[in-house]
Structure 1
Amino acid sequence: MAAPCYLGWDFSTQQLKVIAIDEQLRVIYEDNVHFDKDLPEFKTQGGVYIHSDRLSVTSPVLMWVKALDMILEKMKSSGFNFSQVRAMSGAGQQHGSVYWKKGSIQILKNASSELPLHQSLKGCFSVSDSPIWMDSSTASQCRALEKALGGAQHLANVTGSRAYERFTGNQIAKIYSQNPEVYKQTERISLVSSFAASLFLGAYAPIDYSDGSGMNLLQIWEKAWSKPCLDACAPGLEERLGCPVPSHSVLGPISPYYSQRYGFSPDCKIVAFTGDNPASLAGMRLQEGDIAISLGTSDTLFLWIQEPTPALEGHILCNPVDSQTYMALLCFKNGSLMRERIRDECASGSWDEFSKALSSTVAGNSGNLVPRTRILATGGASHNKKILQCFFPQVLSDVFNAPVFTIDTANSACLGSAYRAIHGLVAERNVSLADVVKLAPEPRLAVTPTPGAEELYRPLLKRYAELEQKVIYNPASSCLVK
């Protein structure tokens, strides 16, 4: 009998990624499908469509489904033994939403294993292009939601965040306002994470607490939808969202479609999918007192927190591995996209040239433009040591005056999802994720602060904070920082 393994998925902005780990938590398989390169028929750029107003940003739902078909076929061709998969979980880019047309549940449940899934589901979506986290077209909906809840701070007290344009509740409100007939024809609204789980479950998967707390709709203390928030966004919204569930929930067995087409065991369990940042928290085995920084399509900073106080900047989310605690998150939109643009314009598109330029620049950049704890870095850019030491947002290790650690894979959301798949099988027995991942390799030291850097950067912190406030509150810059 084949040794058991566990799958972790990540439906990210630019790629679909998968990792398989064995019971010793060793990565035994890793693969991806790059949307622009591998699915050119969808004509995305960076996995998205940026519309003419430059504010609306969407991704085609069927591209995600076809990517799943493609990666499963790649795994099958490689000889991957699907029958050994005992459980799986996954992650999705946060805030994006998928709109299932009335009657789609039956099509999803009865999909023919003779066909690729994207062919069966091509008529299932009332909105063919999903609004995603890069969208910033809902300013009026945000103002209306904050007004309905008695102000931005009160909304943050309830949902963990003031109204943000990319957050799902405001995106739903826009669709209802501009296309009420489309909304009327929608029987279920998923996040990207719960949409991906639905594909494997063969039924509508519930939204988990952690990803659900990035919607401006969930009461993060009670772990239930806020009726005032729902009512402010669209009528009949609660029935379209379903009931949220703990992030470690086992949703059920895998759909027969996958057993018949790929040879998955019918006993393979689907553990609730969550957002990519919460999944990274699990993948990086974050401990209280650590800070994690993800250098992905967007740059995010997050940490485990016991007793949060929601503010007008940043976000408080439910912790994906401990339902009694929370995670705090700051997001800098388009982080990697901006780095790549600077690389292309200033370093001939070469990371080597980029690194040489950084190396030749004195610490502190001649004055041109926190907590002391361990920093863990992940994301696509985290394997470039010069970026780790000198770039995010200008400097990481030097500005924070702390060592930076990385894990062996940049795909921490995938790895965290695989860990969470194991955890979901034992969580009801009060086994913690920390107990589950004891065998996992410890993060490794990547860089340490440059001697004397603290004295250089301390006087720059006040100036940086002032400049950041100008950027945040300048409407022309809203596409850069939120």
Structure 2
Amino acid sequence: MAEHAGRRCCLGWDFSTQQVKVVAVDAELNVFYEDSVHFDRDLQEFGTQGGVHVHEDGLTVTSPVLMWVQALDIILEKMKASGFDFSQVLALSGAGQQHGSVYWKAGASQVLASLSPDLLLHEQLQTSCCLDRGSGANSPHHTGPLQPSRTLLRVPPSGISSWDVMPPGDAGKACFSISDCPVWMDSSTTAQCHQLEATVGGAQALSCLTGSRAYERFTGNQIAKLYQQNPEAYSHTERISLVSSFAASLFLGSHSPIDYSDGSGMNLLRIQDKVWSQACLGACAPHLEEKLGLPVPSCSVVGAISSYFVQRYGFPPGCKVVAFTGDNPASLAGMRLEEGDIAVSLGTSDTLFLWLQEPTPTLEGHIFCNPVDPQHYMALLCFKNGSLMREKIRDELASSSWSEFSKALQSTEIGNCGNLGFYFDVMEITPEIIGRHRFSAENHEVSAFPWDVEIRALIEGQFMAKKIHAEGLGYRVKCKKKFPQGLQRLPRSLRSEPSRE
């Protein structure tokens, strides 16, 4: 208890796909407390796998909104039991999985403003899905039964879709129009994407306007699907939040605004002037602007913490709630990138984060408003064939040994004597292409390389592609040394090889 007492701090929250996590950071930026709730492990009653419900169509992917709320309850109660001194918390902020959306039912704002400190949050925000079987099974968007929910909720009969509307007044304080919310893994909105692009003049026009062409996971297209397939649920919605602004709303006790940076991942925000695009709003659903509210800069203080947290946990009334943002913008801020910087995250998919001053939106990648400097931008590029592709070549050619893989790199020259390869065993995102493609120094396509040439061709090809696509978005490579995330996924020789810039 003494360890957590009398230490002025800020709290950082992460509402990610698989868990909710908190860290406490003191004035010297030391992390002295952290905890998490893993959805699949700690909240098994919601029946998620990887934190989500994958529906029968294989395209619709959702998460139970109350699961996120209950995870927050659990962490706060654990902090309280450990003796954490909430009175020393000066401010809090956080991140949420990008693109996911939450639909607050009419009357939810009154519930948020009048929470009882005697009850947990999820007990007061609980929803009910008590509908007759036919309304769900016959709905045009039905994709399968709702997964088992929290025992304190009334579980819908088999055949009721998680996107079915809950009638007004049902369950008293039901606060959400739909109980399972679409998340970034959802790919069920292709028709809505085509509709949006057609409305504004095509994919490139939409990219110039909002920073990205239409993507199925982007929130505007998810909203359009809900409006088209369940207009009753949409009409009963008073506010639509992103996962980030939803989390901030819980702490604020009122609807928190969407921030510029996370709002850039909706296909709705004009990234140049940072207002909602009327053309995009109109293409998605009516009265959408009033349901979204006005966006704010990502560094905005959106208000003081709700009296609920003051009374139940002992937060100081002056504790500031800073706008939450998306997980990708938060990564750029957390890595302290500056103008001209680039960060590479090496994982199952490789991701590039770029700080841009003058972006050039294209059909590949994404341009977001910069979360640190609202006058600048950030770019995000994702490459699907990342570590698994490297590991596959390692297994095929280097006896599953990174040591042998490293020897091959050390035995070949930088530039690979002009031999070049691109390796996409699964359909790539940037660009959309599949297959292994090898080119000799004479620019002839060949069917195979010697094993050591193949290994260098893989690595150089991957990073050449990253450089080319980054420059396509307006980035200019500078001679600055950067350290990729996920270096443990690469052989030691690649980590230490000198830059060619």
Shared fold per TM-score greater than 0.5: yes
Residue 333 of structure 1 and its aligned partner are, at CA, apart by 6.1
- The CA RMSD measured in Å over matched residues stands at 2.8
Match of 1:73 in 2: 77
Q: C-alpha deviations, 1:368-416, integer Å up to 9, x for none?
A: 65256533444xxx3xx431458xxxxxx94xxxxxxxxxxxxxxxxxx
SS at match of 1:195: helix
The 3-state SS of whatever aligns with 1:141 is helix
Change in 2 beyond 3 A, CA 1:334/1:126: farther
Structure 1 pair 137–87 and aligned structure 2 pair: CA distance change class (3 A): same
Matches of 2:249 and 2:238 in 1, distance apart?
14
Counterpart of 1:18 (choices 22, 44, 52) is: 22
- 1:44-193 pair list within 5 angstroms: 44-123=48-127, 124-193=175-244
Alignment of 1:397-476 (within 5 A): 398=494, 447-449=495-497
What code does the residue aligned with 1:357 have? Answer: S
Give the structure 2 partner of residue 312 of structure 1. Answer: 363
| Structure-1 residue corresponding to 2:401 | 357
> Structure 1 or 2: larger helix share?
1
* Structure 1 Cα separation of the partners of residues 320 and 403 of structure 2: 49
Map residues 255-270 of structure 1 onto 2, 5 A cutoff. 255-270=306-321
Output the CA distance in 2 between the equivalents of 1:355 and 1:190: 49
- Check the 8 A contact 2:218/2:266 in 1, yes or no: yes
Contact 1:290 1:376 in 2 (8 A): no
Paired residues of 2:403 and 2:491 also in contact (CA < 8 A): no
- SS of 2:83's equivalent? coil
What are the residue-to-residue correspondences of 1:295-306 with 2, within 5 Å? 299-306=350-357
- Structure 2 CA distance, aligned partners of 1:111 and 1:297? 42
Asked if the contact 1:97/1:190 (under 8 Å) is kept, the reply is yes
Letter of the aligned partner of 2:193 in structure 1? Answer: C
* Alignment-mate amino acid for residue 323 of structure 1: P
Measure, in 2, the Cα distance between the counterparts of 1:35 and 1:304.
33
Deviation at 1:263, TM superposition (A): 0.8
1:409 alignment partner in structure 2: none
- How big is the shift at 1:159? 0.4
CA–CA distance in structure 1, aligned partners of residues 280 and 378 of structure 2: 22
Structure 1 residue 331, shift from structure 2 partner: 2.7
* Alpha carbons 2:305, 2:319 under 8 Å: kept: yes
Partners in 2 of 1:26 and 1:308 — Cα distance? 35
Q: Deviations along 1:269-311, whole A, 9 cap, x unmatched?
A: 0000001111111111112232223457865311111000100
Q: What is the CA distance between 1:74 and its match in structure 2?
A: 1.5
Deviations 1:99-120 (A, max 9, x none): 0111111111111111110110
Query: 2:343 maps to what in 1?
Result: 292
For 1:315, give the aligned amino acid: H
TM-score, normalization by structure 1: 0.75
**Distance in 1 (alpha carbons) for counterparts of 2:13 and 2:117:** 21
Match of 1:203 in 2: 254
- For residues 338 and 254 of structure 2, the distance between their equivalents in structure 1, rounded to whole angstroms, comes to 34
Identity %: 66
Q: Which residue of 2 aligns with 1:276?
A: 327
Q: Is residue 40 of structure 2 the alignment partner of residue 36 of structure 1?
A: yes
**Aligned residue in 1 for 2:489:** 387
Spell out, residue by residue over 1:239-287, the C-alpha distance to the aligned partner (whole angstroms, 9 max, x if none): 0000001111111110011111111111100000001111111111112
**What SS does structure 1 have at the residue aligned with 2:266?**
coil
1:183-233: per-residue Cα shift (whole Å, max 9, x none)?
A: 111111000000000000000000000000110000001110000000000
Change (3 A) 1:273 1:334: farther
SS in structure 2 at match of 1:213: helix
Q: Distance in 2 between matches of 1:298 and 1:262?
A: 40
Bigger-Rg structure (1/2): 2
Residue equivalent to 1:432: none
Paired position in structure 2 for 1:253: 304
Cα deviation digits, residues 134-190 of structure 1 (max 9, x gap): 111111100100000001111111101111111000010011111111111111100
Residue 358 of structure 1 and its aligned partner are, at CA, apart by 3.2
Q: Distance in 1 between matches of 2:183 and 2:385?
A: 13
* 1:200/1:254 contact within 8 Å kept: yes
Q: Structure 1 residues 389 and 56 mapped into 2: Cα distance closer, same or farther (>3 Å)?
A: farther
Match of 1:214 among 242, 259, 265: 265
Asked whether the equivalents of residues 251 and 270 of structure 1 are also in contact (C-alpha less than 8 Å), the reply is yes
Amino acid at match of 2:321: I
Question: Do the aligned partners of 2:354 and 2:379 also contact (CA within 8 Å) in 1?
Answer: yes
Taking a change above 3 Å as real, the CA distance of residues 335 and 23 of structure 1, as seen in their structure-2 partners, is: same
Note the C-alpha offset of 1:335: 7.0
> Is the deviation greater in 254-263 or in 355-364?
355-364
AA in 2 matched with 1:179: N
Task: Judge conservation of contact 2:347–2:489 (CA < 8 Å) in 1.
Answer: no
In the alignment, the residues of structure 1 paired with residue 345 and residue 52 of structure 2 have an alpha-carbon distance, to the nearest angstrom, of: 20
**Structure 1 residue runs of 4 or more that deviate by more than 4 Å after TM superposition:** 295-299, 332-336
Measure the CA separation in 2 of the matches of 1:297 and 1:54.
21
In structure 2, C-alpha distance between the alignment counterparts of 1:198 and 1:330, rounded to whole Å: 30
Could you tell me which runs of 5 or more consecutive residues in structure 1 were left unpaired when the two chains were aligned: 347-353, 391-396, 399-446, 459-482
One-letter identity of the residue aligned with 2:261: S
CA contact (8 A) 2:224 2:284 kept: yes
Take 1:64 and 1:333, find their aligned partners in 2: how far apart are those partners? Answer: 28
TM-score (norm. length: structure 2): 0.72
